[in-house]
Amino acid sequence: MLVGALVVVLVLGVVQLAYALWVRTVLIDAAAEGARYAALLDGDLASGEERARLVAASGVSDAYVDASNASIDREAGYDVVVVELTAPIPVLGPIGPTGTMTVSGRAVVEQ
């Protein structure tokens, strides 16, 4: 009985970790897609930010992303679009990690 409870707790922990990593991967992909969209020759930061939110909504939920930010940085002599998404850490049950995670995507601006 005790071993069964321990196995259930371990399996639920692995499921929680897998779900959190999947959501993080979806958000990273959304941020990268938004950065690539904004870095296009006729793109702008607002459209890249909107594209990132749209891709994130198609992967997780419409209102899952708390905040988004798009900016242009200078790295290694090139202009780089940076799109950041902030969302809560997903928790499947009543116990688990709390807080938020911030992910970013980058793309070199087309000239």
- What is the model's pLDDT at position 72? 94
Identify the domain containing residue 17 by its residue range. Answer: 2-108
For the chain, the first-to-last Cα distance in angstroms comes to: 65
> Cα dihedral sign for 6, 12, 15, 16?
negative
Q: What is the DSSP string of the chain?
A: -HHHHHHHHHHHHHHHHHHHHHHHHHHHHHHHHHHHHHTSTT--HHHHHHHHHHHHHHHT-TT---EEEEEEEEETTEEEEEEEEEEEPP-SSSSS--SEEEEEEEEEPP-
pLDDT of 46 > 90? The answer is yes
pLDDT tens digits, one per residue of 27-38: 999 999 999 999
Mean pLDDT of 3-21: 90
pLDDT of 12 > 90? The answer is no
pLDDT tens digits, one per residue of 79-111: 999 999 999 988 876 666 788 999 999 999 987
- What is the model's pLDDT at position 33? 96
pLDDT of 21 > 80? The answer is yes
pLDDT of 7 > 80? The answer is yes
